[in-house]
């Protein structure tokens, strides 16, 4: 499912910003799409922290085989050793259990968190052990498809903006935020096209 706002956002950004206009035309016909459920999206982010993509995929396959119904309820009910035997560290096993409990019994059980604005939702997500701001921002961008997320700490975004707006020189977060003011309320869309400009940096949507 492509975001309903996408065409409107692309049109406005192309008119406002010559760099984005060029990137939009270079990557026409490509859009992000919603994938997975909320619990699994965050669980995969926790599994993948500080390890290679290959290692994360291997652990995820083992988890899926051990727990075919990889739902929050299932993970909340399983014992820690089931998670550790799939290759998770003790800390990550604890984080997954905490996340599962929040989705089963806690603040995310009733779905009302979806009604929160971006910053309020990021604040709630980062209360969960193992979920930092970057993880929360990626969740808003790629799972919830929120239109105005700007992950200023993302290394890929920093590199793209350095190349596209600062002649390849390091770019300050202050300048990044100033440039992004012209993209409101579509900073997620601008970010996505800037990521696409980095041929050597794959964009993961899950």
pLDDT in tens, 176-200: 999 999 999 999 999 999 999 996 4
Residue 10's domain is classified under what CATH number?
Answer: 1.10.1670.40
Could you read off the pLDDT of 41-95 as tens digits, one per residue? Answer: 999 989 988 888 899 999 999 999 999 989 999 999 999 999 999 999 999 999 9
**How far is residue 135's CA from residue 122's CA, in Å, rounded to a whole number?**
9
Longest CA–CA span in the chain (Å) reads 55
CA dihedral over 166, 167, 171, 176, signed as positive or negative = positive
Query: What are the tokens at 132?
Result: 């930092």
The residue ranking higher by pLDDT, 34 or 107, is: 107
Total number of domains constituting the chain: 2
The reply to whether 17 falls in a domain is yes
- Residues 91, 96, 97, 102: what is their CA dihedral angle, to the nearest 10 degrees? 130
pLDDT at residue 166, rounded to an integer: 97
56 plus 17 within the same structural domain: no
Domain membership of residue 99 as a residue range = 38-130
């Amino acid at each position: 499912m492509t975001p309903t706002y996408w065409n409107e956002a692309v049109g406005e950004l192309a008119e406002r910003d010559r760099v984005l206009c060029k990137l939009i035309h270079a990557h026409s016909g490509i859009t992000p799409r919603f994938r997975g459920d909320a619990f699994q999206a965050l669980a995969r982010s926790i599994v993948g922290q500080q390890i290679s993509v290959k290692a994360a995929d291997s652990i995820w396959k083992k988890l899926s085989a051990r727990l075919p119904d990889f739902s929050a309820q299932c993970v909340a009910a399983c014992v820690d050793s089931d998670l550790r035997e799939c290759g998770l560290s003790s800390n990550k096993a604890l984080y997954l259990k905490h996340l599962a409990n929040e989705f089963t019994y806690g603040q995310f059980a009733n779905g009302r968190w979806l009604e929160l604005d971006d910053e309020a939702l990021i604040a709630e997500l980062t209360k969960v052990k193992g979920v930092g701001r970057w993880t929360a921002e990626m969740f808003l961008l790629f799972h919830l498809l929120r239109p105005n997320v700007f992950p200023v700490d993302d290394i890929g975004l920093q590199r793209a903006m350095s190349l596209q707006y600062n002649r390849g020189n390091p770019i300050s977060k202050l300048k990044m935020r100033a440039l992004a003011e012209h993209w409101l309320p579509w900073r997620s869309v601008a970010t996505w096209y800037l990521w696409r400009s980095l041929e050597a940096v794959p964009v993961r949507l899950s």
